[in-house]
Amino acid sequence: MAHAYHNHLISVPLFADLDESELDAVAAITTELNFSAGTALMNEGAGAHEMVVVVDGTLEVTRADEHIADIGPGGFAGEMAVLTHARRDA
């Protein structure tokens, strides 16, 4: 079954080795969200239940108000905390 997010997910390196059924499973639990510039999506030390895949725009990663990285389309953030059940580190 094709999902609306399937085409976005296949371009994400994290999902590069997934087969069609696995991509469909990820797509089935994907939710599209839109944010205004400057919106905080994650907080350092918080628990993690989701990750972010950037489709359009840029996600700025900061720690203690220090710029760490910019993540653009096809990039992702928050996956390590989700996969390891750890707290967010940035």
Query: pLDDT value at position 21?
Result: 92
Query: pLDDT value at position 1?
Result: 46
61 in the same domain as 19: no
54 in the same domain as 90: yes
47 in the same domain as 73: yes
Structural domain for 21, as ranges:
1-33
Angstrom distances, CA of residue 80 to CA of 20, 50, 85: 23, 10, 8
Report if residue 38 sits inside a domain: no
Q: Could you give the CA distance from residue 53 to residue 36 in angstroms, rounded to a whole number? A: 16
Is the whole-model pTM more than 0.95? no
Whether residue 89 is predicted with pLDDT greater than 60 in this model: the reply is yes
67 in the same domain as 24: no
DSSP state at residue 38? T
Whether residue 2 is predicted with pLDDT greater than 60 in this model: the reply is no
89 in the same domain as 54: yes
Domain count, the chain: 2
61 in the same domain as 23: no
Question: Sign of the C-alpha dihedral, residues 7, 9, 13, 15?
Answer: negative
